[in-house]
């Protein structure tokens, strides 16, 4: 199944990567690799992650304090947020 990003989720992902890049290029690479691994897992088995708010599912990153929230459609999966676990919970629910 294909995975697409909501434009705001794509921006969040890029901002998080830039934040890590400023602190450590190695951390930025590790962050990107972990996000890619989570997206691959979601694409292969979208129903494996627990249900979250407003019909979304939540996939947590292991080494970084981020969750990937997504909705499963008939033909595609839409990532609606790449959200820090401690900041503004639920801010993305209107997407």
pTM for the model: 0.90
**Overall average pLDDT of the 66-77 stretch:** 95
Buried b (16+ CB within 10 A) or exposed e, 60-87: ebeebebbbbbbeeeeebbbbbbbeeee
Contact 67, 61 (CB under 8 A): yes
Percent above pLDDT 70 for the chain = 94
Q: Which CATH class is domain 2-84?
A: alpha beta
Whether 1 has a pLDDT exceeding 90, the answer reads no
Residues 11 and 48: their CA atoms lie apart, in Å, by 25
**Overall average pLDDT of the 82-86 stretch:** 91
* pLDDT, tens digit, 9 for 90 and up, residues 35-49: 999 999 999 999 999
pLDDT for 53: 84
């Amino acid at each position: 199944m294909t995975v697409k990003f909501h434009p705001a989720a794509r921006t969040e992902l890029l901002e998080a990567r830039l934040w890590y890049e400023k602190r450590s290029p190695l951390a930025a690479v590790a962050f990107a690799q972990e996000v890619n691994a989570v997206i691959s897992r979601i694409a292969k088995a979208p129903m494996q992650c627990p249900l979250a708010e407003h019909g979304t599912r939540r996939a947590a990153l292991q080494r970084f304090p981020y969750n990937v929230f997504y909705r499963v459609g008939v033909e595609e999966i839409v990532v609606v947020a790449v959200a820090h676990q401690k900041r503004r919970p639920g801010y993305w629910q209107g997407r």
